[in-house]
């Protein structure tokens, strides 16, 4: 078995080297596909971080009338927390709301003095509700409208934020669909290019393949070298793609952080380095091997 594997690898390398110009051309195309594939992964992480950062700043707030009891507000909070669409609910008391208002306007002397002169806290208690998925805010808003008495509530902010919430939900949905379609398209293109190159290799070695079949060579000895070629394509292009992407990530990381403070691109890349290498190897080798099998089955009939 080891001898057979050694021979297949040897013949595969020999075939790869004999048609090295075609092999280089194929690897260039596969390399471009791998670079775009890795770019999709990294850009997807950046986009998700940016979207999550925006999403964390969007919520629905319920402002209660000052006569509403704290027990009633906490009961509503408890009911909301039981909804699967709700990620978290924060209760802000009137005193906490006033303290937050003072903190936000501590640099404005006029407002600070006006607040100090008030005999009673004019601010309402509130609940700040965050959904796990922005598209679910409409469900939460409908629940509030149908199950929370208007006698208790002064204002619900969903209608004010609805445009932003709906737009964010659309961005998330479209970005995921575009990413999947782009990855699928590039995979198909890379497989077709590798397929045609391996087909040319089969054609250029047709006499040798015919002799092998005539002397009784098994299917594995005919197929093997071309499969090995596909593996070689994937290995080499995966290593080159990682080598090219690494300095680009290091250079771009500070600029990404300026626009998205929550995104540390260097930290993500280093912590996921081996996983990214594995993805590249699987993707590159997969393109080569799948292309080899398609070409062999279609044109060698073995």
User: Is the pTM for the entire model greater than 0.95?
Assistant: no
Q: Which residues of 100-125 are buried (b: 16+ CB within 10 A; e: fewer)?
A: ebeeeeeeeeeeeeebeeeeeeebbb
Q: In what order do the strands lie in the sheet with 86-92?
A: 86-92, 126-131, 60-64, 153-156
Output DSSP code: residue 261: T
Residue 50 and residue 73 in one domain: no
Residue 244's pLDDT is what? 92
Among residues 104, 127, 160, the one where a domain terminates is 160
pLDDT of 249 > 80? The answer is yes
Structural domain span for residue 125: 59-160
Minimum mean pLDDT among 141-155, 171-185, 229-243: which range?
171-185
Total domains present in the chain: 2
Q: Which residues of 3-21 are buried (b: 16+ CB within 10 A; e: fewer)?
A: eeeeebeebbeebbeebee
CB atoms within 10 A of CB 137: 25
pLDDT one-digit tens code per residue, 20-48? 777 787 788 788 878 877 887 887 788 77
Residue 187 and residue 295 in one domain: yes
Residue 267 and residue 212 in one domain: yes
Residue 287's pLDDT is what? 80
Burial class (CB in 10 A: 0-12, 13-18, 19+), 298: exposed
Among residues 111, 127, 160, the one where a domain terminates is 160
């Amino acid at each position: 078995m080891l001898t057979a594997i050694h021979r297949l690898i040897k013949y595969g390398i020999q075939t790869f080297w004999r048609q090295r110009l075609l092999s280089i051309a194929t690897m260039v195309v596969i390399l471009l596909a791998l670079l775009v594939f890795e770019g999709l992964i990294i850009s997807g992480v950046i986009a998700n971080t940016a979207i999550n950062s925006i999403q964390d700043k969007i919520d629905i707030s319920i402002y209660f009338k000052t006569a509403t009891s704290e027990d009633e507000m906490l009961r509503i909070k408890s009911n909301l927390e039981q909804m699967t669409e709700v990620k978290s609910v924060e209760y802000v008391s009137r005193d906490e709301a006033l303290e937050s208002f003072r903190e936000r306007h501590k640099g404005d002397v006029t407002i600070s003095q006006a607040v100090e002169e008030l005999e009673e806290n004019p601010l309402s208690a509130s609940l700040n509700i965050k959904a796990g998925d922005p598209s679910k805010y409409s469900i939460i808003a409908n629940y509030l409208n149908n199950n929370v008495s208007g006698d208790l509530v002064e204002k619900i902010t969903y209608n004010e934020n609805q445009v932003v919430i709906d737009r964010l939900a659309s961005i998330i949905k479209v970005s995921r669909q575009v990413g999947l379609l782009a990855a699928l398209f590039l995979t198909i293109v890379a497989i077709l290019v590798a397929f045609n190159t391996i087909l040319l290799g089969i054609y250029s070695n047709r006499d040798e393949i015919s002799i092998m079949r005539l002397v009784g060579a098994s299917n594995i000895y005919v197929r093997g070298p071309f499969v090995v070629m596909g593996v070689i394509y994937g290995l080499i292009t995966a290593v080159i793609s990682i080598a090219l992407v690494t300095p680009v990530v290091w250079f771009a990381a500070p600029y990404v952080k300026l626009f998205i403070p929550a995104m540390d691109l260097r930290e993500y890349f280093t912590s996921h380095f081996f996983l990214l290498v594995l993805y590249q190897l699987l993707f590159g080798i997969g393109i080569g091997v799948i292309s080899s099998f398609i070409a062999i089955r279609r044109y060698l009939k073995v």
